[in-house]
Amino acid sequence: MCRKLLIAVWLLIACCAAGQALAHEVRPGYLELRELDAQHYDVLWKVPAKGDKRLGLYVRLPDNCEGTQPSTRFVGGAYIERWRIDCNGGLSGREITIDGLSGTRTDVLARVQRLDGGSQTVRLTPHAVVFKVSGTASTWDLVRSYTALGIEHILLGVDHLLFVLGLLWIVRGPWMLVKTITAFTVAHSITLAAATFGWIGAPVRLVEAAIALSIVFVAVEAVKVARGEGGLAARHPWVVAFGFGLLHGLGFASALAGLGIPPAEVPLALLFFNVGVEIGQLGFILVVLSAVRSLRMLQFHWPSWSRGVAVYLVGTLAAFWFVERTAAMIGV
């Protein structure tokens, strides 16, 4: 495997992350409209926050709707607003817009729960801020929304990508690579499911700090490999991948749990969110390996200094994340 190219990709992702000063995207917003009768609905609007600052996202309801004054509280890194609306003629066939979404890097999961037990789930993005309330339920909407959410979470979760790329750089041989990636996948699937069902749990900030520390570990192991010293990750990469995969699974679960998914939808949401995560992870790995193969065929050579710069940049960035997240956790 062309380790110089993997180091270059590592460097590119690290530079992008440093420019954003973030490792995670802002978590998705969540809108729920629960039908009470033909024209009355309870509204739950969960707005993501950066620190304690509310994002400028606002629900624009159809003209036939009037609402009560929302009650607001700050819980778990999001502002939760609740109010009741009166929509003359109902919401079926009407459009709902999330104002301010087009200027962000987050999504909104919108759900309409009908009185007959049916529901509609739609994923809104900065490029699609409007949805039309349907009169019929569609399982496909739910499948598509949670799969897309999983893909987006892994591809925008720079810390997860840096960890996976570090494993690609350390692992030697195609069989060991398959074994290592499989171990990581199985491990994070276990904790993702366990945390989503409420069997295990840990504070989000503690998990995110530990994830940053896992990248520091991989960077240190990469330095050992570059020096020809080997290390735990070089000798037993699948064990390291499994252990830290359990940790990263808790990180994935925090994004899903923050939506407040209704219990009846949890199994399907969990399944297809995880499918989305695996699709995104596999796609990232295939792109990197394809690029490695292409540059190997072109016999492209990278400067010898690029290896050390990338490893130390990634390690320094991850150490900064660890300190930043730890400070936020203890309230410094």
196 and 108 both lie in a single domain: no
34 and 17 both lie in a single domain: no
pLDDT tens digit sequence for 114-149: 888 788 889 999 999 999 998 766 678 788 888 988
180 inside domain:
yes
pLDDT tens digit sequence for 26-70: 578 999 999 999 899 999 999 988 777 888 999 999 999 999 999
Q: Total structural domains in the chain?
A: 2
Provide the 10 A C-beta neighbour count for residue 2: 17
Q: Hey, what are 217's tokens?
A: 């570990």
Domain end, chosen from 146, 176, 195, is at 146
> What pLDDT is attached to residue 287?
87
68 inside domain:
yes
297 and 311 both lie in a single domain: yes
184 and 282 both lie in a single domain: yes
> What pLDDT is attached to residue 140?
80
188 inside domain:
yes
188 and 319 both lie in a single domain: yes
Strand order across the 95-99 sheet: 58-60, 95-99, 130-132
Residue 20 in this model has a pLDDT that exceeds 60: no
pLDDT tens digit sequence for 149-186: 899 888 888 888 889 888 888 888 889 989 999 999 99
Q: Using alpha carbons, select from 223, 254, 274 the residue that is nearest to residue 325.
A: 254
7 inside domain:
yes
Distance between the two ends of the chain, CA-based, in angstroms? 43
109 and 175 both lie in a single domain: no
Mean pLDDT over all residues of the chain? 84
226 and 309 both lie in a single domain: yes
Full domain range(s) for residue 99: 29-146
152 inside domain:
no
Residues 309, 313: Cα–Cα separation, whole Å: 6
92 and 233 both lie in a single domain: no
Residue 3 in this model has a pLDDT that exceeds 60: no
Residue 284 in this model has a pLDDT that exceeds 80: yes
Please state the rounded mean pLDDT for residues 259-281.
87
> What pLDDT is attached to residue 21?
44
Domain end, chosen from 99, 119, 146, is at 146
Residues 125, 109: Cα–Cα separation, whole Å: 9
Residue 302 in this model has a pLDDT that exceeds 70: no
283 and 214 both lie in a single domain: yes
Q: Using alpha carbons, select from 254, 246, 231 the residue that is nearest to residue 163.
A: 246
Instruction: Say which range, 98-107, 150-159, 307-316, has the weakest mean pLDDT.
Output: 307-316
125 and 190 both lie in a single domain: no
Provide the 10 A C-beta neighbour count for residue 71: 9
Please state the rounded mean pLDDT for residues 292-320.
74
Q: Hey, what are 300's tokens?
A: 């492209």
12 and 41 both lie in a single domain: no
